[in-house]
Structures are given as structure tokens and as C-alpha cells.
Structure 1
Amino acid sequence: MLEFLNGLQPLEKGFWYVALISSVIFAIQSIMTFVGGHDADGINADFSGDLDHVDAPFQFFSFRNLINFMLGFGWTGVVFYNTIGNRFLLIALATLIGCLFVYLFFLMIQQIMKLSEDNTFNIENLVNASGQVYIPIPENMNGKGKVQISVKGAHHELDAMTEGGDRLASGTSVIVEKIKDKILIVKKLN
């Protein structure tokens, strides 16, 4: 299958090997990325699902970036081998294009990370949120009930109390006034 490599000069043969091997590895990485097998190769991804640190520095030295560099380097060498007679210039161009591939991958990852959404739940953000009583809430802070609140599309069932003089029955619409010791203090929504 690779008999055509036998008659080539060593540098050209090297470019072909780098291009073919990196292309196969890149194809495997791409398939594993799209089918969800990103951990199956035993190599850590360039970024985790924790997107709280979007400003963190780009991981420059990674296996994926090595493959991206080798793709640009190898295929540039193959394509321009017979066009550029100066071998030093050819290697310099292949190196430059390889670095460009790494940079383009960085830009793609940066754009993908902008699409991420922070769905972490923080109870402190529920002040002024509305919900419905699920388990009746006794009046005058005499006991706890439960309310259901929808936050970013997720439903949460949380402990709640009321300072009001009336018991809040199941199904009553309420609004969160404040949070005290991880318990929602709610009042009836008019």
C-alpha cells in the first residue's frame, strides 16, 4: 500500500510519514470526539467541562496540538516539496503552517467555550424568584414547608418558611424575599 514511498528522497518520505500518521490519529481523535469516546484513548482533553475558568491559559503543549502541528507540517511539506527547491525554506514554511494549525485550533476552542452555559445552582440567586408551594408552609416561621422553583430550566424543591401570618397551602404562588441558613423565606404572590 505504501510502495510509492520507496522511491522518494528521505525528506519527502519523512513528510509523507508525518502527514499520513498524523492524519490517521487526527481522524481517530475526531471520531472519538463526536461519538463521546474522548477519554477512551487514555489522554486527557485540552479542556474539561469545568468552564468557570474560561480565561485560563490555553494548554499549548498537548497531544492534540502536537497532532495539529504535525498535520500542517506534514501536508505542507508534501504539497510544496517539488515546488520549493530550498529545503530549509520548505521546512521553515512547513513549521510556520504547523504553528498556524495550532493557532486555528486555539481559535476554534475559544469560540466553542463562548457557547458554554453556566448551569451551576446557587441558592443565593433565588431572591425575587417565584415558585409554587409544594408542601404547605406554616405561618409566622413556625415550621418548614417546601416550594418548587424553576431555575434555568431545572426544577428545584427547596425548604421554605414564611414570616406572614397566614399558612401557605399547596399550589400557592410565592416569591422569595430572602434566604436564611439555606432556607427560602417566601411570601404569597399577589
Structure 2
Amino acid sequence: MQVFCLAFIFLYLQKNYIFTPMDYFNTLDPLLRIFWFIAIPVSLVFAIQTVMTFIGIDSADGIDADFDGNLDHADAPFQLFSFRNLINFLLGLSWTGISFFRVIDNKPLLIALSVAVGIGFILLFFVIIRQIQKLAEDNTFKIESTLDKSGSVYLRIPANRSGNGKIHVSIHGSFKELDAITDGELLESGATIRIIKTINQNLVLVERI
């Protein structure tokens, strides 16, 4: 008898008082409901993408669309039409719609604002990636940047390109060790030199100064 009473009470409460998530969504305005249905899965995907990016799994810029949106010729660091940018756009659109739904009564204006913020999210991501790549490029050593730089001989350099020696040169505040040859006389350790030509990615031609 007690079990029957408890079961009856449970069913009564579930039917009359327990409010499921779907019940809540069904009471929402259709536009707000659309914003929520976009925001929840998109936020989940965005969180997964962020985690994958930080742990180094996400090496590409998302899944390319069927049409080519590559902006390489425009000196852009990523593809405009990509899965990642779609997520960024929908994230900005949906959460803006949810946040301002009670504030802006004009629905066309709310939709326009949401679209604008979604586009803003794409542009913000564009700027962030561009700055990150710029920093990466600035910190990447390029042998061409050593031209006309002065340095010192670390291991003596034989005369007339008869062998390689080593030099130390300061680039962007850090010392680099490079193989070096010379067309002139032998350069002893400690001699001050100037780089006049790059031979390959780790070999330069130097002269005494």
C-alpha cells in the first residue's frame, strides 16, 4: 500500500509540477527557442575546438567548405569559409540573440544585431590568428636576416673557402651559431666579422672587419 501511494504521488508530481527542459523550451518565444537550439550545440563544439587547439590536436583551420574561400592571395592567415568560422559566427549570433532578447523588442533589429556580432566574432578571430602568426614569424629565424650583420668567430675559419668555421651572431636579441667560410685569409677565433652572403640555411660567407 505504501509503495502504491508513493508511486501515485511521484506520477502526480511529475505530471503537474516537474518542469522538464523540453517543457521550458516549449514555453519560449519561437525566435528565442531558435537562438537556444543554436547556442547549445555550437557552444559545445566551440569548447571542444578550444581544448583541441590548446593540446595541439587541431592543426588545421577547421573543415573547408565546398567552395574555395582561401584568402592566401590576400595575405590572410586562414580560410574565410571554414567550419571554425561558421562556429564563431553562430556562437556570436546565438548568444547575442539570447542576451538581448528581453532588451530589444524589435525582432528584425535583434536579428540584425545578432548577425553583426556573429560577423564581428569572425573578424575578431581573424585578427587574433593574424597576430599570433605575426609573432610566430617574428620569432622564426631566417638566414637572410643575418646579411650585413657583424659577429665574432667561434671556431677559426680556414682561408680561401678551404673549410668551414663557426661564428656567433646576434639576431633579434638572441645569439645564433652558424657555419661560415671566407674568401680571404684565415680568421682566427675571436675575430670580428661581417656576413656578406648566405650560402644555404646554415652557411654564410664572411669577411674580416
TM-score clears 0.5: yes
Correspondence for 1:33 among 53, 65, 79: 53
Question: Residue 130 of structure 1: SS of its match in structure 2?
Answer: strand
State yes or no: 1:156 paired with 2:177: yes
State yes or no: 1:144 paired with 2:160: no
In structure 2, how many angstroms separate the alpha carbons of the residues matched to 1:180 and 1:34? 37
Match in the other structure for 1:176 = 194
Tell which deviates more after alignment, 84-93 or 62-71. Answer: 84-93
- The residue identity in structure 2 corresponding to 1:87 is K
TM-score (norm 1): 0.70
State yes or no: 1:43 paired with 2:62: yes
- RMSD over aligned CA atoms reads 3.4
> Does the CA contact (< 8 Å) of 1:70 and 1:98 recur in 2?
yes
TM-score (norm 2): 0.65
> Does the CA contact (< 8 Å) of 1:137 and 1:161 recur in 2?
yes
Superposed counterparts of 1:13-24, under 5 Å: 13-24=33-44
Instruction: Report the CA distance between 1:156 and its aligned residue.
Output: 2.9
Greater relative contact order (Cα < 8 A, sep 6+)? 1
Instruction: Report the CA distance between 1:98 and its aligned residue.
Output: 1.6
Unaligned runs of 5+ in 2: 1-19, 65-71
Correspondence for 2:100 among 80, 92, 117: 80
In structure 1, how many angstroms separate the alpha carbons of the residues matched to 2:125 and 2:61? 21
Match in the other structure for 1:109 = 129
Superposed counterparts of 1:4-19, under 5 Å: 4-19=24-39
> Does the CA contact (< 8 Å) of 1:130 and 1:149 recur in 2?
yes
Higher Cα radius of gyration: 2
Tell which deviates more after alignment, 175-184 or 16-25. Answer: 175-184
Identity %: 32
